[in-house]
Amino acid sequence: MAASDRPDFLDQFTALRETAVAADGLVKVEVDGISDLVGLEIDPRAMRLSSDELAAEIRDAFGRARAAAEERATQAAPEALRQETPELTALLEDIKSDAHAQMDEILVVANELTMRLDRLMQPRS
């Protein structure tokens, strides 16, 4: 098989998917093999949770999905890539940092949505 016939190595990781649920199935998070968030589903009933509870549930699901994706990606990596090098360590830290930044952005939006829903649900006088 010629090199051009093989799938790109990074494409294999970005095609990998892992999902985790939290809040009794009301929150579903999906990440790819490089820990990028590729899916987030929040059941409307999850809005009954406080913003702190919802944020914690999203973080929990994201962490579990990310850990599962990292495990599968590690198993799929050729042995040469399993050896830690300064370059690989730096790349993994960049990926981790990007994933955390994306998760922080999502949590801010989820918190804002929850606060808006809380205001809408308050009885008007």
Give the model confidence (pLDDT) of 14-63 as tens digits: 788 999 999 999 999 999 888 889 999 999 999 999 999 999 999 999 99
pLDDT tens across 93-105, in order? 888 888 888 888 9
pLDDT at 11 over 90: no
- The model's pTM: 0.60
pLDDT at 83: 65
Look at residue 109 and tell me whether its pLDDT is greater than 70.
yes
SS3 state of residue 2: coil
Closest CA relative to residue 61, chosen from 24, 97, 93 = 24
Q: pLDDT confidence of 81, banded at 50, 70, 90?
A: low
Burial 115-125 (b: 16+ CB within 10 A, else e): eeeeeeeeeee
pLDDT at 6 over 80: no
pLDDT over 50 (residue 118): yes
pLDDT at 7 over 60: no
Domains (range + CATH), the chain: 3-121 (3.30.1310.10)
Look at residue 76 in the predicted model and tell me its pLDDT: 72
Q: What is the CB neighbour count within 10 angstroms for residue 32? A: 19
> Would the pLDDT of 73 be above 90?
no
